[in-house]
Structures are given as structure tokens and as C-alpha cells.
Chain A
């Protein structure tokens, strides 16, 4: 029986706590008597028969819809869409759950005699997936059968010939999605719901949309009113997507949603990384030796080698549930299953929240974690892993640990480089950035060309990363980065500190002496239910 997550009150007997620190780690002593650590639950037991669970979900859909096999007819147009490289994190070991679900769907389609099938990576404004990444997601069998005939491809949000304008929500939000999906008799969307933000109507309304459509919810106003975007019922981002989902439904876009949840077995129970998943006081002599050896080795390796090692890690995630059917009914059950793994009740807020940021976020898989992404993963994702209230009180201090090197992937993140050099050098205020710079980057022909033909994120993507942190920026009194490259941290508008002790001392200038501290021990993923 896996043990649930819990909150540890730090006292003098508490060992140093593990902080992820990019492609490395730190062990930090938290001040006793006024600190606590939010630990994730242990990985839930995975399903034993995943293929059986998929078949059961397809045959017994939730909500007001028929079993998939009765929706499939000869001569119909079927489009299967799936989540892109940004999920799950780290990428899971083969076979990926998307492959297993897509194969099950295609098997039913073959049985029903469906010939016209397209498979689309729903990547919105993310970079295109390479052949290797597509193969990992859908498997070699599906790739070899569909890619050579042009029936498996990446969504292109900048291809006017392959986008269809569907309509407008009562709030004036334009809905424009992939033409093939819009024209299909049935769209099957295959999700991986790693966190509660994923899935629901956001899958189609965001994953298959164009910039014209996305700008209505990926903006400062929406993100400021998403508290948090991990809690769909209190997220303006989701409200907007749900309105768009209604427009799609009313326009006759028939969506069969398949969502799956994973446990948080990120580092496995054996092997050198397993120690990262254990609670520090439970580290055996072997764990300690492994950790010391791993840390010593990593500290001596050049950054590129460390990055290669970490990026090659494939998580042994187990599948905990598969739901299929009507979007809303499926998503409610999915979110409950995500919470079952990740939610930990925390009483009250703290003056200071600390977090060790890992090497990975949704936008640097097989890539570089640049300073903008560091800000996004800390103040965007980790800060928003809450339900109810943020872990830190309003005006409190957020302390993040990450090397934050001034480094960008020139192929994947070209517009990030200019955003960092030009925009952030001028201002870090999200609203001002949105008003003054977004349009120029979003409509830049060179970025558009790179997005469509190379493997670049869309020109507007770094803006979205910055909007992602605006709730955190608005809420926190100060943001301190421990161990970060000073000039890069300053460019972000944050404060650099060499050690956690220094950072806590700096924080006292904002929140007063002897502040209370909460540390989010993440990853494996944990979400705070702050009451």
C-alpha cells in the first residue's frame, strides 16, 4: 500500500533536504522550528492490465456518448490527435501510453473498416516533434504505417489552408482549429494527464488551435485570474477553453476524449535515480553512497554531458487509470485520479516558499532550460501547484534553486533569445510586455517560418511563458534564485543568492525576522491543497 503525501515539520533532528538544482542537486538544512516540507505520496499501484483497461474504457464510455466501436463506420473520416512532446515529464519508458491507446483505437477502426484516418500531434504553438519523438509517442508500428503516406503529422497553427474558423464565444473569443479535425466525422483525442491542468476541452481548443484563437486565453488578464491554473474550477484559462469547447460542440465537431493518468514513479524503485524518490531519513547506506557518487560525478562533468544524461532518462511511470467518452465526464474523473496521486493537504500559508527546480519543464524536452523557462517552471508551474491558496502568503518570498545559465537552444528557442535580450532588457512587467511587444513577435515572418519548417517554438511562445508567471509575480513580494547566474537572474527581475541561508536572510528584509518556510519537495509531482 503506497503511503500518501504528508507535511513534515522540520526540527533539529531533520536531515538536510534534497533540492533539485537543474542538472544537479543540493542538500539544504531548513531552519528548524519554523519550516515544513511538503512530501509527495508514494507512487500509486499501476493498473495490471493496461490494454484491458483501455479496451474497457473504449467500450464503456463516460457521459452521453456511445462506445467507440459503434461510432466507427466504414467511409467515415477519423482523426486521432494526441498530446505532444511536452507530456509526460520526463518522457515515459516505452511503450508510451499514447501508443497503447492509439493502437487500441486503430484496431477498432480496422475492425469497423474505417479507411480515412489521420493522426495529428496536437502541439499548438510548441515546436514540431522530430521523427524520433513521434516514434516514441505513437510507436514504430503506427509511425511506419501512417507517416510515410502523410497521415501522421504535426499540427501547423500557421497554415491558413489547414485551419477552419468555427465561431465565437459569447465573450468574443474566436475559435479556430485544425481543418482536418474540424471536417472529421469523429475526433479521438488521446491525452496524458500528468497534472490536473491537462486535458478536458483544453486539449482540442488549445492543442489544435491557431494563434488567433489561443491569444484569447493565453494572456495576462486570463492568467492573473487563474488561481490556480491547476484547479480548473478556479482557472480563467480553463473557463475560456470550456467556452470554446462548447462552440466546437455546437458546431458539430464530434470529440471522443480519452484521458489517462500516471502515478508519480518518476525515478523508479531501483537504479541510481531511485534515491531521488525516497524520503531523506529513509536513505540506506547504499542510497547515500549512490547519491554521493552521483553528485560527485555530476559536479565534475561538463554541463552538456550532464544535460545528456538527464535528458536521456525515461521515467518508469505506471498507468493508474484510463477514461474515455464525453469530454466533461471524462475530465472530472481524470482530475479526481490525478488528485488521488498528487494532492497533499497543507494547513495555512507561509512567509517563504522554497523549491528546487529540476532540469526539465514542458518546453525543454531534449533541449536547454533557458532562464525564461526557469522563471516559468518556478513561478509558473511550481507556484501554481496549489488548490485553494498559494503556499506562500501574499507579499511573501519565493526562493527557487537553479543554476539559471544564460544559455538558449538556438533551434528550439530562437524567439526566446530576442525576448531575453530585447524585451526583458526593457521591462519585466507582463502587461507592458503584452501591450508593446507581443504582436510584433507573434506575426514575425522569420519566427513563423522557423515554427513551420524547423523545430522552433512559435515567436509568441516566450511571451506566454512570461504570462504564465504573472500570477506568481503579482502575488510574491520578492523572488530569489539560489545558485543562479547573477546577470541572468537580474535580467529576469529576480534577486540572486549564493546559498539558501543568504536567500533566507534576504527574505527577512521583506517578510520580517524568523519567517515561516514551506518547501515543496518536487519532483515527483506533488500539489498542495492549502486550507
Chain B
């Protein structure tokens, strides 16, 4: 007869410390003082942009985060010269980094690879319903990656106002306009938030293409698998005369697709396809899921180790 090893332990409720060592109760019929939300879309992240938090974030970024990214993704970075050229002409003003999104590791990869001076004053648009779902994740997201909550389920003026205010204060934004990680390895159409902010704040958008991060930690995967990632920074884009947010957004998406083509082939082939209007789209073929998966190849393929023949001769 098996012994039962988990007898129920009675739960002991510790007495609550008396006021003033704990919050006072609110008398019935009265309203308590206004509370600051500790999570969710209204979470206040101002504290995470003050000096102590910035120093902590910079330390984290240059130590643990960088080591982790190097171990898991070892990213190859291309296109920094485009940013350098832009900076030489236009200066160090804020920009909006717009990237495709495959994995949770996309953010650390970019945070450790975006060059100075932008990496020092950078905030990230994080999904309010994911990164800010409870007080712990909210504080961690704000501190570690400098996230602000972005509502994905509805259009929020507050989110846009907050992002615009920060950009006007000289902060750069990193945003994934697909609205979430790719569910199947292909991209999703870009939402217009980045284009809207670029118009509103008159700042350039830096298109970025990330390749290979889906293999490391795709959506639904729990454990990361080391693989090589590539980051390709494009030439900063500014809204052209007569362009609205819709068209500008389409141009941003097209440019990221061209960067994807450039990463998959080479710059010259990609430019020729771009001018011929035959750049492969980020969203993949409009076909049943198996064909989309087929067209993607086998990104989850791992390097197989050479197995020794048995018995060992």
C-alpha cells in the first residue's frame, strides 16, 4: 500500500500589520484615494526613464542581455553604415525602429544591436495585455527593456500620446508593427502606428529586418534553441510629399520586405527585384497553411550531430 506523502498542510493566515504599518481601510460609503494602476495599459512607466533605471538597464543590456543574445543568437549585423550615413547628415535626433517580429528574442537582439546614440534613449512598444498583465511583469518590462504599454485590441489615444510625447523629448522608439509574434513563420501586415507617429512627430522610420530569430524561440516554444540570427538595418525613411500614413506604412512594409530579400539573396538581386516590383512579400503566399509552411522551408530544422556508428569501432 502506497504511502500518501502530501498530507494537507493547514494554511496559516498571518495577521495584517496594523495601521500605520499597512494601508488604512476605506470607510464604507466613501471613495478611497486614487490609485496608480500597477499593471495594464495605464501603467505609468516614467520611473523607468529616470537615471537610476536607465543606468540599471544599460548595465543589464551590456552584460546579461548581451551575453544571452550572443549565446543564443550570435547576430550578424548589416546596414549600420546606412545609419552612420544618416547620422552624419541629419544628426542624433530620435527615430522609430520598425522591425518584423518572430520571437521574444527579437527585442533583446535589437536592444543590444541598435547603435549609439539611439540605444541609450530607447523605449519599446510592448503589448499591454502581455508584458503588463500583472505588477511583476509590468515592472520587469519597464525596467529591463524600457517598455511602455501599447494596446493591441483597440485604438488608444493615450498610448499614441505617450509615445509621441517621449519621441518629442528625444527618445527613440522600437516597435513591431505586426502587432505580435508571427504564428507560422510568415509576417503579418504592418499596422499603421509607426507611420502615424512618424508623421505626427516628423521623425524618420528605420526599417529593420530580423532573420532567424523564429528558429530560436518561435511563438509557442518554451525553450530556446541556439541559432544564428541576422539583423539588417535599412536606410531611414521619411514621409514624402503627398504621402499619407497609409501609403507611408505600405512603403515601410515594402522596405522591410526588400531588406528580407537582400538578406536572403544579395543587395544587387534585391534591388533589381525591387525595381521590377517582384520583391517577395513578407506575408507569404495566399494559400492553405500546409503550402505556406512548405514555402517557408524547414526553419525549425536543427543541426544534427554526426552520430557515431554503434558499436564504436
A95 touches B85 (CB 8 A): yes
B81 touches A110 (CB 8 A): no
Interface check B78, CB cutoff 8 A: yes
In angstroms, how far is the closest chain B Cβ from the Cβ of A80?
A: 12
* A142: contacting residue among B78, B80, B82, B268, CB under 8 A: B268
Interface check B266, CB cutoff 8 A: yes
A110 touches B89 (CB 8 A): no
Contact with B along A77-114 (1 / 0, CB 8 A): 00000000000000001110001100100110011010
- Alpha-carbon distance between A163 and B240 when the two chains are bound, in angstroms: 47
List CB contacts (< 8 Å) of A288-321 with chain B: 318
Write out the residue numbers on chain B whose beta carbons fall within 8 Å of the beta carbon of A318.
Answer: 88
Nearest A residue to B276, CB-CB = A113
* A107: contacting residue among B79, B271, B276, CB under 8 A: B271
A48 touches B89 (CB 8 A): yes
In angstroms, how far is the closest chain A Cβ from the Cβ of B136?
A: 42
B275 touches A110 (CB 8 A): yes
Write out the residue numbers on chain B whose beta carbons fall within 8 Å of the beta carbon of A107.
Answer: 271, 275
Nearest A residue to B275, CB-CB = A111
**Given A48-B90, A140-B78, is A106 in contact with B271 using a C-beta cutoff of 8 Å?**
yes
List CB contacts (< 8 Å) of A62-82 with chain B: none
In angstroms, how far is the closest chain A Cβ from the Cβ of B80?
A: 8
**Given A110-B272, A110-B275, A141-B262, is A47 in contact with B89 using a C-beta cutoff of 8 Å?**
yes
| A interface SS class | helix
Nearest A residue to B86, CB-CB = A51
Interface size class of A (residues with CB under 8 A): 20 to 34
B90 touches A106 (CB 8 A): no
Write out the residue numbers on chain B whose beta carbons fall within 8 Å of the beta carbon of A144.
Answer: 266-267
List CB contacts (< 8 Å) of A139-187 with chain B: 139-142, 144-146
* A93: contacting residue among B84, B266, B269, CB under 8 A: B84
Nearest B residue to A108, CB-CB = B275
Write out the residue numbers on chain B whose beta carbons fall within 8 Å of the beta carbon of A103.
Answer: 267
A142 touches B267 (CB 8 A): yes
- Alpha-carbon distance between A318 and B89 when the two chains are bound, in angstroms: 9
Interface check B227, CB cutoff 8 A: no
In angstroms, how far is the closest chain A Cβ from the Cβ of B242?
A: 18
Interface check B201, CB cutoff 8 A: no
Write out the residue numbers on chain A whose beta carbons fall within 8 Å of the beta carbon of B79.
Answer: 141
- Alpha-carbon distance between A140 and B233 when the two chains are bound, in angstroms: 13
Contact with B along A115-148 (1 / 0, CB 8 A): 0010000000000000000000001111011100
In angstroms, how far is the closest chain A Cβ from the Cβ of B273?
A: 9
B268 touches A50 (CB 8 A): no
Interface check A46, CB cutoff 8 A: yes
A110 touches B274 (CB 8 A): yes
A106 touches B88 (CB 8 A): no
Write out the residue numbers on chain B whose beta carbons fall within 8 Å of the beta carbon of A50.
Answer: 85, 88-89
- Alpha-carbon distance between A142 and B79 when the two chains are bound, in angstroms: 12
- Alpha-carbon distance between A139 and B89 when the two chains are bound, in angstroms: 18
* A106: contacting residue among B80, B89, B262, B268, CB under 8 A: B268
Write out the residue numbers on chain A whose beta carbons fall within 8 Å of the beta carbon of B262.
Answer: 141
In angstroms, how far is the closest chain A Cβ from the Cβ of B222?
A: 36
Contact with A along B215-254 (1 / 0, CB 8 A): 0000000000000000000010000000000000000000
Write out the residue numbers on chain A whose beta carbons fall within 8 Å of the beta carbon of B90.
Answer: 48
B275 touches A141 (CB 8 A): no
Interface check A49, CB cutoff 8 A: yes
B276 touches A139 (CB 8 A): no
B85 touches A145 (CB 8 A): no
Task: Kindly name the residue among A117, A140, A141, A146 whose own CB sees the greatest number of chain B CB atoms within 10 A.
Answer: A141
Write out the residue numbers on chain B whose beta carbons fall within 8 Å of the beta carbon of A94.
Answer: 80-81, 84
B274 touches A95 (CB 8 A): no
In angstroms, how far is the closest chain B Cβ from the Cβ of A332?
A: 26
Nearest B residue to A95, CB-CB = B81
In angstroms, how far is the closest chain B Cβ from the Cβ of A201?
A: 29
In angstroms, how far is the closest chain A Cβ from the Cβ of B270?
A: 8
B89 touches A49 (CB 8 A): yes
In angstroms, how far is the closest chain A Cβ from the Cβ of B264?
A: 12
- Alpha-carbon distance between A141 and B275 when the two chains are bound, in angstroms: 17
B271 touches A95 (CB 8 A): no
Write out the residue numbers on chain A whose beta carbons fall within 8 Å of the beta carbon of B89.
Answer: 46-51
Nearest A residue to B262, CB-CB = A141
**Given A94-B84, A95-B84, A95-B85, is A145 in contact with B274 using a C-beta cutoff of 8 Å?**
no
- Alpha-carbon distance between A95 and B85 when the two chains are bound, in angstroms: 6
A46 touches B88 (CB 8 A): yes
A110 touches B78 (CB 8 A): no
Nearest A residue to B89, CB-CB = A48
**Given A47-B89, A49-B89, A110-B275, is A139 in contact with B81 using a C-beta cutoff of 8 Å?**
yes
Extra pairs beyond A46-B89, A111-B275, A113-B276 (5, CB < 8 Å): A49-B89, A50-B89, A95-B81, A106-B271, A141-B267
Q: Which 9 A-B pairs have the closest CB atoms?
A: A141-B267, A145-B268, A145-B266, A95-B81, A110-B271, A111-B275, A110-B272, A94-B81, A145-B267
26 contacting pairs across A/B (C-beta < 8 A): A46-B89, A48-B89, A50-B88, A51-B85, A95-B84, A99-B81, A100-B85, A106-B268, A106-B271, A107-B271, A107-B275, A110-B268, A110-B271, A110-B274, A110-B275, A113-B275, A140-B78, A140-B81, A141-B78, A141-B262, A141-B266, A141-B267, A144-B266, A144-B267, A145-B267, A145-B268
